[in-house]
Amino acid sequence: MDDRTEVEQDGSSVGRRGVLGAFAALAAVTALVPGAWAVSLPLRKPEGLAGFGADDGDWQLPGQKPNPSGQLPGRKPEVTQVATRAPRIGRGARLLNLYNVHTGERVRGPFWQDGRYVPETMRSITRMMRDHRANQVHKIDPKLIELLHAIQMRIGQNKPLEIVSGYRSPSTNEMLREAGYGVAEHSYHMVGKAVDIRVPGYRVSQLSRMAKAMRRGGVGTYGSGNFLHIDTGPVRYW
62 three-class SS: coil
Distance separating alpha carbons of residues 153 and 2, to the nearest angstrom: 80
Q: What is the pLDDT of residues 22-79, one digit of tens each?
A: 444 444 444 444 433 333 334 333 333 333 333 333 344 444 444 444 444 334 444 4
Largest Cα–Cα distance in the chain? 96
3-class secondary-structure state, position 139 = coil
Bridge partner list, 46: none
Q: Which amino acid is at 42?
A: P
CA angle 96, 102, 106 (to 5 degrees): 30
Name the band, by pLDDT with cuts 50, 70 and 90, for residue 181. Answer: confident
Kindly list the strands in the beta sheet with 236-237, ordered across the sheet, starting from the edge strand earlier in the chain. 116-117, 106-113, 94-100, 161-165, 194-198, 227-231, 218-222, 236-237
Which range of 36-40, 91-95, 183-187, 201-205 scores highest in mean pLDDT? It is 201-205
pTM: 0.65
204 falls in which pLDDT band (50, 70, 90)? Answer: very high
Please give the CATH topology (third level) of the domain spanning 94-237: Muramoyl-pentapeptide Carboxypeptidase; domain 2 (3.30.1380)
Q: Residue 81: count other Cβ atoms within 10 Å of its Cβ.
A: 19
